[in-house]
Amino acid sequence: MPECFLPQGLDGNIFTGSAFYKIKHKAKKKVKHRAKNRVNQHMMKRVYTSDNVTQAWHIRNVLEQHDIRSVIKNENLYSASGEIPFTECLPEVWVNELYFVRAGQIIREIENSVESEAEDWTCNHCKEVNGASFALCWNCQTSID
């Protein structure tokens, strides 16, 4: 075989004999590993698509708390949204298809558990208006009671 067709290392040395076999064998292992990962990806289903990465990570964290392993895809594609359609850039949460139904139920519970719209309240001590989420007056630290 001509020398120009023999595999070469980064230092320009030509691989021969057992060194070439080792490199070829490692390459085969990587291909098998990639094929195994591809099979696992086919067993995944998209369970949620979000407008922002923060919401996708929140959903992923909640699913992890329920012992459902999940993966976020497209979390770094927002910068390419002008080059490709923006719907292809939205962050997605994927789960194993065995947990797809349960994950969907959990996500629906999260989306339906919108906090009730409470009224702002006025402090009896200093008459300052406080947001409904505050239990203490922001001005004088008096309790809502």
For residue range 27-46, what is the model confidence (pLDDT) as tens digits? 555 555 555 545 455 588 99
Q: Are residues 71 and 131 in the same domain?
A: no
Q: Are residues 47 and 109 in the same domain?
A: yes
CA distances 125 to 81, 97, 121, 122, 145, Å, are 52, 57, 12, 9, 11
User: Is pTM, for the whole model, over 0.85?
Assistant: no
| Three-state DSSP state, 17 | helix
d(CA 6, CA 13): 10
Q: Are residues 124 and 64 in the same domain?
A: no
Number of domains the chain is built from: 3
Q: Are residues 96 and 54 in the same domain?
A: yes
Q: Are residues 125 and 145 in the same domain?
A: yes
Instruction: Identify the DSSP state of 74.
Output: S
Q: Are residues 20 and 49 in the same domain?
A: no
Q: Are residues 48 and 108 in the same domain?
A: yes
Q: Higher-confidence residue: 12 or 82?
A: 82
C-alpha triplet 59, 60, 61: angle, nearest 5°: 90
pLDDT band at 111 (very low <50, low <70, confident <90, very high): confident
For residue range 115-129, what is the model confidence (pLDDT) as tens digits? 556 788 899 999 999
> In CATH, what number is assigned to the domain containing residue 48?
3.30.70
Q: Are residues 49 and 35 in the same domain?
A: no
| Three-state DSSP state, 122 | strand
Q: Are residues 35 and 74 in the same domain?
A: no
Q: Are residues 85 and 60 in the same domain?
A: yes
Q: Which residue bears the tokens 């923060």?
A: 54
Q: Are residues 102 and 73 in the same domain?
A: yes
Per the structure, the complete domain to which residue 132 belongs is given by 116-145
Q: Are residues 143 and 95 in the same domain?
A: no
